[in-house]
Structure 1
Amino acid sequence: MTDPLQIDARDLLCPLPVLRLRKALASVAPGSQVQLLATDPASQIDVPHFCTEQGHHLIRQTTSAEGHFLFTIAKAL
């Protein structure tokens, strides 16, 4: 398995983290994983909602000690 594509969306505000995620998912094969690193608190709501609406699988959502939000998403099959 290859390492997931990583997107750095730190310091970007809504809706930019989700737009970056959408663009990245469009460039990978179905079933591939993408990791998104964000600092916008709205991303905690926006990313899961985007995944649900588009059929992608939100594998993991964590918050670091520094307050960064890390999402791991698998592209819909």
Structure 2
Amino acid sequence: MTDHEITETLDAKGLSCPMPVVKTKQTIDTLAAGETLEVLATDAGSLSDLAGWADTTEGVELLDQVDEGDVYRHVVRKTA
């Protein structure tokens, strides 16, 4: 995983689709532009779900995704 300065971490472990995306949106809305959110999830679908959400959502950028076996780490930056 690339080193990114993490502003906040969201623990979405144990949540299944669509909740990791819903919780990510709720949390990213509380951050200021330029801040970075790390999302920890156990739902394998979160890899495609969060990537798709970031691609279609203005003001966010998906910086990284890592499959660590039992936990998926996502790093999202609020850009606006």
TM score, norm. by length of structure 1: 0.89
Unaligned 5+ runs, structure 2 = none
Residue 39 (1) aligns with residue 54 (2) = no
Matching residue of 1:75 = 78
Count of residue pairs brought into register by the alignment? 75
Q: How far apart, CA to CA, are the structure 1 residues paired with 2:30 and 2:67?
A: 26
For 1:60, which of 40, 59, 64 is the aligned residue? 64
Task: Note the aligned Cα RMSD (angstroms).
Answer: 1.2
Gaps of at least 5 residues in structure 1 are none
Deviation digits for residues 39-58 of structure 1 (CA, Å, limit 9, x no counterpart) = 11110110000001113111
* Regions of 4+ moved over 6 Å: none
| Superposed displacement of residue 76, structure 1 | 2.3
Q: Which residue among 7, 12, 30 is the counterpart of 1:9?
A: 12
Matched residue SS, 1:20: helix
Percent identical among aligned pairs is 24
2:13 is aligned with 1:29? no
Of residues 35, 48, 53 in structure 1, which corresponds to 2:51?
48
